[in-house]
Amino acid sequence: MDKQQAQEKIKQLTTLLNQYNYEYHVLDKPSVEDAVYDQKMRELRELEEAYPEFQEPDSPTQRVGGEPLEEFHKVEHRIPMLSLANAFNEQDIRDFVKRASQGMEEPISFVCELKIDGLAVSLTYEDGKFVRGATRGDGTIGEDITSNLRTIRSIPLTIRENETLEIRGEAFMPHKSFLALNKEREAKGEEPFANPRNAAAGSLRQLDPKIAAKRNLDIFLYGVGEWDNSNVTKHSERLERLKELGLKVNPEWRKCDSVEEVMAYVQYWTTERPHLDYEIDGIVIKVDDINQQEKLGYTAKSPRWAIAYKFPAEEAVTKLTDIELSV
Ligand code: NAD
């Protein structure tokens, strides 16, 4: 590919991926499988690395999510809600562990968590009371969906201490609720949701909270935004603390002290995933020590101290072979 072709290809992929992002993040109605999106994103990233001078100002490699919907009040995330860099195979995970460990004086440990396939949300508690809930939006500005989140029974309206904190997690639709909802929709002649992720996002980004209330959504909390708890020095301690406050943390997280332990966790859940009653699309691997996290820092789009390993989508892989991957 010569320089001019590379520039043209970068432009085409940027436009196409921005359209896919709009359909997925704004409309909650993707037109292609995630694997197709991920493949094109990888292609764009590689081209931008080879020809940085041709990166478009609105490149999707530099931006999080999509614009918030006009209909909702806006919420500013004072600490941005970022995305995660992706790993697609064992080598990518090993490379991440190696990169993260380089230059660290202390030994490094990781926390592995299930990557819940839902909608990223932020919850704010003031003096122990749930006062605000928002979507991630474009990472800086999200949509105020407080009334919808209040309908999720596993979100406590009051936590066990009078703390002020902003936490992050994934709201999702369990398989059972998803199947029941689609059955009901089909019986009414309505279009079924393509997957639990779209159903969860579509339910929470509605102006009428009665809709979310009927949909039996759930949540797992996995991170913090604004929280003055400087005595906590590990991500694993934060997860314990959130649980103590009465917040719902996924119990399957594990601390791993070596890349072999990380790989064993990934392998275990690759096999066990069908037995969960909610959808996961991968494993998130995070550096446990918060000082080490700060040392590693952030890119414009994601922390350098975490990575999301994505499970291969078998169904999509078959489709991929039939689809012309180049634009
Ligand atoms: P991502 O899905 O790769 O990972 C980041 C997100 O993971 C976080 O924002 C959070 O919401 C979620 N998450 C779940 N469990 C977590 C945990 N335990 N800890 C931390 N985070 C956790 O990134 P993204 O920016 O949300 O979305 C990009 C992905 O969405 C793409 O890779 C693609 O698979 C999909 N997508 C698909 C289309 C399409 O058209 N099909 C379009 C855009 C995006």
User: 220: number of CA atoms within 13 Å, CB side?
Assistant: 19
Pocket of ligand 1 (CB under 6 A): 20-21, 23-24, 30, 32, 34, 37-38, 64-65, 83-84, 86, 113, 115-116, 120, 136, 170, 222-223, 284, 308
CA gap 165, 46 in Å, rounded:
39
On whether 113 is known to bind a ligand per the annotation, the reply is: yes
282 C-alpha vs ligand 1 centroid, how far in Å? 10
pLDDT-flagged residues of the chain (< 70): 314-327
On whether 207 is known to bind a ligand per the annotation, the reply is: no
86, 308 contact by CB (below 8 A):
yes
pLDDT of 96: 98
Q: Whose CA is nearest to atom 32 of ligand 1?
A: 38
Q: Which atom of ligand 1 is nearest to the CA of 86?
A: 3
On whether 36 is known to bind a ligand per the annotation, the reply is: yes
CA 113 to chain centre: 12
- Classify the C-alpha dihedral 130-217-170-231 as positive or negative: positive
- Domains in the chain: boundaries: 1-63, 64-322
Pocket-testing residue among 170, 204, 293, ligand 1, by greatest number of atoms within 8 A of Cβ: 170
pLDDT of 155: 98
CA gap 47, 52 in Å, rounded:
8
pLDDT of 323: 36
pLDDT of 318: 38
pLDDT of 307: 98
Q: Whose CA is nearest to atom 43 of ligand 1?
A: 21
Beta bridge partners of residue 287, listed in sequence order = 110
CATH code: domain 1-63 is: 1.10.287.610
CATH code: domain 64-322 is: 3.30.470.30
pLDDT of 66: 87
83 C-alpha vs ligand 1 centroid, how far in Å? 7
pLDDT of 316: 41
How big is the chain, counted in residues?
Answer: 327
ipTM above 0.95, yes or no: yes
Q: Which atom of ligand 1 is nearest to the CA of 30?
A: 40
Q: What amino acid occupies position 265?
A: Y
On whether 295 is known to bind a ligand per the annotation, the reply is: no
235-241 contacts at long range (C-beta below 8 A, 24 or more positions apart): 235/111, 235/286, 235/287, 235/288, 235/289, 235/290, 235/293, 236/111, 236/288, 239/111
Q: Which atom of ligand 1 is nearest to the CA of 33?
A: 41
Told to judge if 115 belongs to the known catalytic residues of this protein, a careful annotator would answer yes
pLDDT tens for each residue of 94-129: 999 999 999 899 999 999 999 999 999 999 999 999
pLDDT of 313: 76
Instruction: State the catalytic residue, choosing from 9, 40, 115, 301.
Output: 115
Pocket-testing residue among 14, 45, 114, 115, ligand 1, by greatest number of atoms within 8 A of Cβ: 115
